[in-house]
């Protein structure tokens, strides 16, 4: 006799199962790199850049070492630094705020929408006004983050950027494969940054990232910055850059995985719809961004309060169902960032951090496992 608690635990991310599914394609691509030995800037990097640009409909793609380095290269290219204000959501991964600080700029935290969790245009306008009123920082850039697989409200963000003469960057680390207003993400801002961290919808087997842009001059600058600011010849140094290249082996893994990507996105959508149908009468299921299609990096439900969330997490754990909290602390409350915060209240970010819970949504989940997750949440 077996009860649900005796079933094998469900995996939040199962990279071993992924390899059983695509192993042959992966090994062929990796073997090709081992054979040609061009481990840095090999032909797979160029091939991947071309395929990603085509996928997103962007004119240029520059492969880089991580999503964080992608953000840094884009901000370096704009000369963002000391005295500059960079507006970004308080409810996002740490890297979005870390990069402006590394460059000497100041992150200005913006609240998010309580239903979609995306940056809130009304809060963004208020925060730009706050910075202008205080008169200490120069408003320079907005980072719209496509959170959890869904797009940020790009039409509004573009209006605000234009009105205020601000550089607009899309941190699409979590959401490559998603779309907005009928087109794939990658062209909503002047530059779009991607991450290939293993848990992202298009994940490699190590660190990796890319930058998409339609601007040829910026693309050339990004290529220079990722290789120590090099000029036309290897030992001509035009500017201060970094070592920010994408490894050939990661590009090879990603090329193999790209062939499975659309089917994986479809499977994630199927799981999300099953969760919606099975859970919407017992918890708050994620609202869709108007005009958006999600890549479903994360499927997050909302509980009434922290106690209800803790109780549910315990019950899920007992049933072998993993869950995770993205994010337990909004960035304006992080020890590393709170001293850079001007003290504005960001009540939605605070409330989400107390009530949000992510359920497993990786494409390896079987229908039986999806049903187990639903049954466990319903208790």
Ligand X SMILES: *Cc1c(COP(=O)(O)O)cnc(C)c1O
* Comparison of 152 and 319: residue with beta carbon closer to ligand X: 152
Q: Which of 100, 98, 154 is nearest to 124 (CA)?
A: 154
The distance of closest approach from Cβ of residue 157 to ligand X in the complex, given in angstroms and rounded to an integer, is: 15
16's CB contacts (< 8 A; 6+ apart) are none
CB of 67 to ligand X, least distance (A): 2
Catalytic residues: 200
The sign of the dihedral angle between the CA atoms of 220, 221, 222, 228 is positive
Contact pick of 44, 49, 111, 207 for ligand X (by CB under 6 A): 207
**Minimum distance of ligand X from residue 209's CB (angstroms):** 5
Name the residue among 86, 30, 18 with its Cα closest to residue 267. Answer: 18
User: Which residues neighbour 54 within 8 Å (Cβ) at sequence distance 6 or greater?
Assistant: none
Nearest approach, Cβ of residue 212 and ligand X (Å):
15
- Toward ligand X, which CB reaches closer, 171 or 369? 171
For the beta carbon of residue 215, count every other beta carbon within 10 angstroms: 15
Question: Of 87-95, 220-228, 258-266, 299-307, which segment contacts ligand X by CB under 6 A?
Answer: 87-95
Q: Cα(210)–Cα(66) distance, rounded to whole angstroms?
A: 7
Does 145 interact with ligand X (rule: CB under 6 A)?
Answer: yes
For residue 150, state whether it binds ligand X (rule: CB under 6 A): no
Binding-site string for ligand X from residue 92 to residue 111, where x marks contact by CB under 6 A and - marks none: xx-xx---------------
173 lines the binding site for ligand X (CB under 6 A) = yes
Nearer to ligand X, 145 or 249 (CB): 145
148 binds ligand X (CB under 6 A): no
Number of residues that bind ligand X (CB under 6 A): 15
CB 136 within 8 A of CB 85: no
Give the residue at shortest CB distance from ligand X. 67
Q: C-alpha angle with apex 290: 199 to 375, nearest 5 degrees?
A: 55
Q: Which stretch binds ligand X (CB under 6 A): 88-96, 155-163, 333-341, 358-366?
A: 88-96
137 CB-side CA count, 13 A: 25
- Closest distance between ligand X and the C-beta of residue 117, in Å? 12
Give yes or no for a contact between 196 and 208, defined as CB atoms under 8 angstroms apart: yes
Closer to ligand X by Cβ: residue 65 or 190: 65
Q: In whole angstroms, what is the distance from residue 122 CA to residue 112 CA?
A: 9
250 contributes a contact to ligand X by CB under 6 A? no
Residue 175: which of 92, 100, 94 has the closest Cα? 92
Nearest to 138 by CA among 163, 106, 172: 106
Closest by CA position to 21, among listed 362, 378, 370, 371 = 362
Question: Which region, judged by CB under 6 A, interacts with ligand X, from 74-82, 133-141, 171-179, 258-266?
Answer: 171-179
3-class secondary structure per residue, 322-347:
CCECCCCCCHHHCCCCHHHCCCCCCH
Q: How far is the CB of 197 from ligand X (least distance, A)?
A: 4
Given 123, 174, 192, 349, the residue binding ligand X (CB under 6 A)? 174
Residue closer to ligand X, measured from CB, 55 or 197:
197
Q: Identify the CA nearest to 296 among candidates 304, 288, 305.
A: 288
Is residue 264 involved in binding ligand X (CB under 6 A)?
no
Instruction: Considering only the stretches 27-35, 66-74, 117-125, 362-370, report the one whose residues sit in contact with ligand X under the rule CB under 6 A.
Output: 66-74
Q: Which stretch binds ligand X (CB under 6 A): 25-33, 116-124, 170-178, 222-230?
A: 170-178
Q: How far apart are CA 37 and CA 206, in angstroms?
A: 18
* Residue 224 binds ligand X, judged by CB under 6 A: no
Determine which residue in the list 42, 203, 204, 209 makes contact with ligand X, applying CB under 6 A: 209
* d(C-alpha 6, C-alpha 337), whole Å: 43
Where on the chain is the footprint of ligand X (CB under 6 A)? 66-68, 92-93, 95-96, 145, 171, 173-174, 195, 197, 207, 209
């Amino acid at each position: 006799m077996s009860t649900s608690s005796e079933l094998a635990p469900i995996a939040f991310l199962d990279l071993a199962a992924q390899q059983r599914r695509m192993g042959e394609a992966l090994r062929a691509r990796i073997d090709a790199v081992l054979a040609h030995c061009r481990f840095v800037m090999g032909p797979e990097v160029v091939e991947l850049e071309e395929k990603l640009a085509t996928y997103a409909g962007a004119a240029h793609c520059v492969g880089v070492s991580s999503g964080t380095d992608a953000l840094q290269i884009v901000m370096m290219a704009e000369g963002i630094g000391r005295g500059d204000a960079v507006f970004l959501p308080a409810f996002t991964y740490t890297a979005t705020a870390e990069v402006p600080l590394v460059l000497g700029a100041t992150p200005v935290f913006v609240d998010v929408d309580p239903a979609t969790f995306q940056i809130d245009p009304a809060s963004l306008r208020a925060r730009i006004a706050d910075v202008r009123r205080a008169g200490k920082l120069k408003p320079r850039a907005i980072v719209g983050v496509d959170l959890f697989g869904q797009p940020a409200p790009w039409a509004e963000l573009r209006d605000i950027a234009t009105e205020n003469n601000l550089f607009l960057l899309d941190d699409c680390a979590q959401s490559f494969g998603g779309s907005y207003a009928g087109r794939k993400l990658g062209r909503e801002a002047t530059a779009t940054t991607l991450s290939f961290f293993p848990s992202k919808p298009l994940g490699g087997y190590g660190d990796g990232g890319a930058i998409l842009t339609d601007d040829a001059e910026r693309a050339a600058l990004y290529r220079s910055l990722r290789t120590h600011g090099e000029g036309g010849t290897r030992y001509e140094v035009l500017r201060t850059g970094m070592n920010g290249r994408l490894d050939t082996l990661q590009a090879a893994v990603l090329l193999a995985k790209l062939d499975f990507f659309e089917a994986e996105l479809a499977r994630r959508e199927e799981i999300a719809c099953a969760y919606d149908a099975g859970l919407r009468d017992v918890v708050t299921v994620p609202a869709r961004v108007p005009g958006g299609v999600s890549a479903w990096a994360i499927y997050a439900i909302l509980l009434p309060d922290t106690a209800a969330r803790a109780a549910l997490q315990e019950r899920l754990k007992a049933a072998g169902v993993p869950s995770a909290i993205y994010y337990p602390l909004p960035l304006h409350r992080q020890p590393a960032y709170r001293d850079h915060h001007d003290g504005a209240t960001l009540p939605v970010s605070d409330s989400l951090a107390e009530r949000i819970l992510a359920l497993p949504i990786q494409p390896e989940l079987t229908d039986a496992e999806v049903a187990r997750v639903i049954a466990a949440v319903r208790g």
